[in-house]
Amino acid sequence: MTGLEPGGRYTRTSFTRQQAEQALERLITELEGLDPQTAQDRWLQTSSGGTFRERWDQEDRETMAGDLRRAGITCSVTRHKVPGVRAPEVGLKLIIPTDAKERLVIKRDAFTGGSS
């Protein structure tokens, strides 16, 4: 879609713009023609036989951070100046969504055959 915006990849000539618009229209028509039942999510939940603790012990920090971001778990950091004290007062608040347990499930992508 960004290629059709002014200055985009497909706006350089009228021919490429027309071809891109026609291809987009075909895809929209194809999408509208899909049966809603077959367009359902294609995720399968399977057990890896391990816990997140075991996964985190085996993986690196980036994997751990990705798991937490995917689950929507965040940490809010605040700083407040304290009169007469050089170091600020730092506050941390861990924000965990109520459905974090479901979000932490690692789902196998049926389209690629890998994990996400």
pLDDT in tens, 15-36: 888 888 888 888 888 888 877 7
**Structure tokens belonging to residue 69:** 């971001």
Q: Which domain range does residue 11 map to?
A: 1-39
pLDDT in tens, 73-84: 999 999 999 999
User: What's the pLDDT score for residue 31?
Assistant: 81
User: What's the pLDDT score for residue 94?
Assistant: 92
27 and 58 assigned to the same domain = no
79 and 90 assigned to the same domain = yes
33 and 71 assigned to the same domain = no
Contact status, residue 67 vs residue 52, Cβ threshold 8 Å? yes
**Structure tokens belonging to residue 82:** 């304290």
Mean pLDDT, all residues of the chain: 78
Low-confidence ranges of the chain (pLDDT < 50): 110, 114-116
